[in-house]
Amino acid sequence: MSYISKLAVFEGSVEIGYNVVIEDNVIVGKNVKIGNNVVIKEGTKIGDNCVIFDGAVLGKEPWKSSTSATTKEATGLSPLKIGNNVVIGANSVVYKGALLEDFVFVGDLAVIRERVTVGIASVVGKGVTIENETTIGKYVKIETNAYITAFSVVEDYCFVAPEVTFTNDNFLGRTEERKKFFKGPILKKGSRIGANATLLPGIVVGEDALVAAGAVVTRDVPARKIVMGVPAKVVGDVPENQLLENQSYYREEE
């Protein structure tokens, strides 16, 4: 049986499955579909034309483990905000304090943490994790099971292949000092990371650069270069026809 708070607001037509929980002050736009067993926590705002698949949990409150070094206190988080035309996959979990812009697509069984922004039309694949304090630009694709660590930046039009691993702690949990150095990778506009590659903490991947599948990236990657291997080395230039500026879907910033 569903529980729908009397303080939830529905701005237009909505289709709601069975055994759904919608808490106080949730705002749901027009023409939204909400699957079965979906949980929408207090204050979450969902735009028009969204589809929320079965078992998704929206607006989950963060909870700090007793030994966490990167999770801040949850106080003062804004409610989860989801734009228009967003799709959320089955059994996915999106936290309070996240912002998903219009046309974002989230696959099944993904997790998006607090203080994360995902830009327009970006795709967060099945099983992907985006940790807290991270910014994902627009038209980005992050594919299945990729791990985007806390304090990462992924700029517009980037591509992150399946099972890629980002890291943010060169000290692997040791020394108090390390807490000053936590830094996720920075993917500059249009850069691409191949399948199952590993990026060391704070690595900057230059504009339109390409990291080959399986590479372990231990230093910054120059713009428009291809790197490969363990550790990754420059092996050539990104071909002209693969540059972002030559893609039909690319639109220069106004």
On whether the CB atoms of residues 156 and 119 are closer than 8 A, the answer is: yes
Out of 43, 83, 97, 127, the only residue in the binding site for a copy of itself (CB under 8 A) is: 127
Q: Which of residues 58-97 bind a copy of itself (CB under 8 A)?
A: 60, 63, 65-68, 85, 87, 89-91, 93
On whether the CB atoms of residues 105 and 123 are closer than 8 A, the answer is: yes
Q: Which of residues 165-184 bind a copy of itself (CB under 8 A)?
A: 165-167, 171-177
What are the phi and psi torsion angles at 21 (to 5°)? -120, 120
Is 118 a residue that touches a copy of itself (CB under 8 A)? no
- For a copy of itself, the closer of residues 27 and 51 by Cβ is 51
Residue with tokens 């399986």: 214
The residue range among 8-16, 75-83, 181-189, 235-243 that interacts with a copy of itself, by the rule CB under 8 A, is 235-243
CB of residue 4 vs a copy of itself: minimum separation in angstroms? 10
Q: Which of residues 185-214 bind a copy of itself (CB under 8 A)?
A: 192, 194-196, 198, 200, 210, 213-214
Out of 29, 35, 137, 206, the only residue in the binding site for a copy of itself (CB under 8 A) is: 35
The first and second tokens of residue 251, run together, are 């639109």
Sheet holding 93-95, edge to edge: 3-4, 21-22, 39-40, 57-60, 93-95, 111-112, 129-130, 147-148, 165-166, 198-199, 216-217
Is 39 a residue that touches a copy of itself (CB under 8 A)? yes
Alpha-carbon distance 133 to 130, whole Å?
9
